[in-house]
C-alpha cells in the first residue's frame, strides 16, 4: 500500500473522537466461523493468531449453531447468531468493532468475522456489510 493510502487507512482504523462517547453495545452479533486461515491468507500484514477466550463456548461448539440470514451468500461457512449475555464478551474479543481475527480454539485454527447488528437490523433485513438505513422523510432535499 502506498504511504498516503496507509495513512488514511490508519486514521480510519485508529481514530477516536475527542469527546466522551458511549461505545455501542449491540444486542445481537453475527459470527462467521470458518475453519482454517480463510481469507486471512491474503491479508497484509498477516493477522496475529489469538487464543479464543477460555470462558466462552468453543468455536467448534458455536459453529454447530448455524443460522440462515440475508447474508448467507457467504456459502457454506457457518454463521452464528449471538445474543444475550454472550454478546458483550465476544464483541470485546474483537475490540468492540466489526472485525475479523484468527483464533486458536482447542486444537484448531479459525478465521472468525464478528458483525454486530445495527439497531434496525434483523435476520431477515440484514446485509453482509453494515449500510445506512433509508428512512422516509416528511420533506424533500432536492432543488
pLDDT digits (tens, 9 = 90+) for 10-62: 888 888 777 777 777 888 888 888 887 776 666 667 778 889 999 999 988 88
pLDDT at res. 88: 92
pLDDT at res. 51: 92
Looking only at the bridges linking them, the beta strands covering 108-116 and 28-35 are antiparallel
pTM given for the model = 0.64
Position with higher pLDDT, 94 vs 137: 94
List helix spans (H) across the chain.
3-14, 59-63, 87-93
End-to-end CA distance of the chain, in Å?
41
**Is residue 24 a contact partner of residue 116, using CB atoms and an 8 Å limit?**
yes
pLDDT at 128 over 70: no
Closest CA to 92 of 29, 17, 20: 29
Amino acid at each position: 500500500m502506498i504511504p498516503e493510502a496507509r495513512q488514511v487507512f490508519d486514521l480510519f482504523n485508529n481514530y477516536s473522537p475527542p469527546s466522551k462517547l458511549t461505545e455501542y453495545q449491540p444486542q445481537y452479533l453475527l459470527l462467521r466461523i470458518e475453519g482454517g486461515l480463510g481469507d486471512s491468507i491474503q491479508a497484509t500484514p498477516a493477522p496475529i493468531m489469538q487464543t479464543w477466550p477460555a470462558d466462552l463456548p468453543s468455536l467448534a461448539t458455536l459453529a454447530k449453531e448455524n443460522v440462515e440470514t440475508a447474508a448467507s451468500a457467504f456459502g457454506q461457512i457457518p454463521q452464528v447468531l449471538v445474543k444475550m449475555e454472550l454478546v458483550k464478551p465476544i464483541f470485546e474479543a474483537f475490540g468492540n468493532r466489526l472485525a475479523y481475527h484468527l483464533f486458536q480454539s482447542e486444537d484448531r485454527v479459525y478465521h472468525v468475522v464478528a458483525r454486530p447488528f445495527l439497531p434496525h437490523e434483523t435476520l431477515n433485513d440484514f446485509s453482509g456489510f453494515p449500510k445506512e438505513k433509508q428512512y422516509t422523510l416528511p420533506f424533500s432535499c432536492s432543488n
